[in-house]
Amino acid sequence: MTGFVSFVSSGPGDPELLTVKAVRRLEVADAVLFDDLSSGPILSHARKDADLVGVGKRAGRPSPRQDHVSQLLVEYASTGAHVVRLKSGDSGVFGRLEEEITALRRAGIGFEIVPGVTAASAAAAAANIPLTRRLTARRLQFITGHDVTGGLPEDLNMAALADPEATTVVYMGKRTFAALAERLLEAGLPPETHALIALGVSTPDQTLSCHTVGELPDVLRAMETKAPVLILYGPLADEDLPH
């Protein structure tokens, strides 16, 4: 008897940003394995008798190993259960989705991916700006601020990241942005390039602040927060940014 797994993207935190499809999958699931950022009001859409299992990973905190999470998915689905793997943001954007898909494929378990609102889109919407701007931001790029060791990835394309005509979004970059900023400036990005820090996007604790890339390292070092930090920089619409 084999079940099925729905990888459901919960968005960045606001339950109103869930898709209709995401809500429908939650309503019929026998078990929900959820990230920390997907908990709270979002879980109210789950069945009252569903198993709710927290498997979230947060920087600097004890977290389940990825192979343990993947094994749990296999074990639940192997009982014939319909399992929802509830991932924050969009599950395909820096969400460790591939490892879990690989485990299901090896076990012969079917799955689907339900896309959702990624934090970058929600942050731009909260700041009332577009992620792309006609004629001035011709390209949009997402990067992760750290690799599996927690350090800044060594293989970043600095020419692309220092492109003044690209909007760049750095996920999970608070601890490593100082090192990234140094490399960006060396690659030619002007230090006065506009930048936006978004904390706790679409949650009650959301804060947005506008700076420059040159200022960001000092700002981030002085910042004490446990909320997820998202950094946007490039040809942002400065007249509309929060100051």
* Marked catalytic residue, from 21, 36, 51, 57: 57
Amino acid making up residue 209 = S
Q: For residue 35, indicate whether it is catalytic.
A: yes
Asked whether 228 and 213 are in contact (CB, 8 A), the reply is no
| Interatomic CA distance for residues 161 and 39, integer angstroms | 33
- What tokens appear for 217 in the block? 């390292």
Asked whether 84 and 33 are in contact (CB, 8 A), the reply is yes
Amino acid making up residue 4 = F
* Marked catalytic residue, from 14, 30, 35, 163: 35
DSSP assignments along the chain, one per residue: ---EEEEEE-BSS-GGGS-HHHHHHHHH-SEEEE-GGG-GGGGGGS-TTSEEEE----TTS----HHHHHHHHHHHHHTT-EEEEEESB-TTSSS-HHHHHHHHHHHT-EEEEE----HHHHHHHHTT--SSBTTTB-EEEEEES--TTSSPPTT--HHHHT-TTEEEEEES-TTTHHHHHHHHHHTT--TT-EEEEEESTTSTT-EEEEEETTTHHHHHHH----S-EEEEESS--GGGS--
Catalytic residues, by residue number, are 35, 57
